[in-house]
Amino acid sequence: MGRDLSKVLISEDELQTKIRELAGKIDADYAGHELLIVGVLKGAVMVMADLARALHVPVQMDWMAVSSYGAGTKSSGVVRVLKDLDTDIAGRHVLVVEDIIDSGLTLSWLLNNLQSRNPASVEICTLLRKPDAVKVPLDVKYVGFDIPNEFVIGYGLDYAERYRNLPFIGTLAPHVYGGE
């Protein structure tokens, strides 16, 4: 383990087991339907890639890139679309796939935005969820792991664009982001 990691929070095996479990539920819920999974760039790339391969229902994949901006704080709830869907989602069953819900502000904005396009349904699948997410009213149908309020990296999650390629979820050592 590199010096920048303090510990492995969720191992590669645990991640893959959970992805298969989520895929099983999604397969059952969408049986007989075609599903459009929408990944939120960039963090969701790993979950999307593994979840898509674990699903058996017919799937199409699309992507959105969003950026929250405001007075320098992490998530202001004001979201700018950097890349919109290529797909017209009217009448489609849409499943938004995220790596993590932290404040929940990005996703609550995104959900409103997608609902205004008249899909047949929109649901959310997130691999990780932090405790603050309960502060916003967000109906999340599929959750992989509820995790403590620590800075997590790997499996798509970055710190300053690094560590996304780790195959597991780890926590960052405090010295990396200016702690002791």
**Is there binding between residue 158 and Mg ion (CB under 5 A)?**
yes
Of residues 75 and 87, the one with the C-beta less far from Mn ion: 75
- Binding segment (CB under 6 A) for ligand PRP, from list 17-25, 51-59, 84-92, 100-108: 100-108
102 is catalytic: yes
Cβ atoms 94, 110 nearer than 8 A: no
**Is there binding between residue 100 and ligand PRP (CB under 6 A)?**
yes
Shortest Å, Cβ 169 to Mg ion: 14
Shortest Å, Cβ 33 to Mn ion: 26
Of residues 5 and 101, the one with the C-beta less far from ligand PRP: 101
Of residues 62 and 158, the one with the C-beta less far from Mg ion: 158
What positions carry a catalytic annotation?
Answer: 102
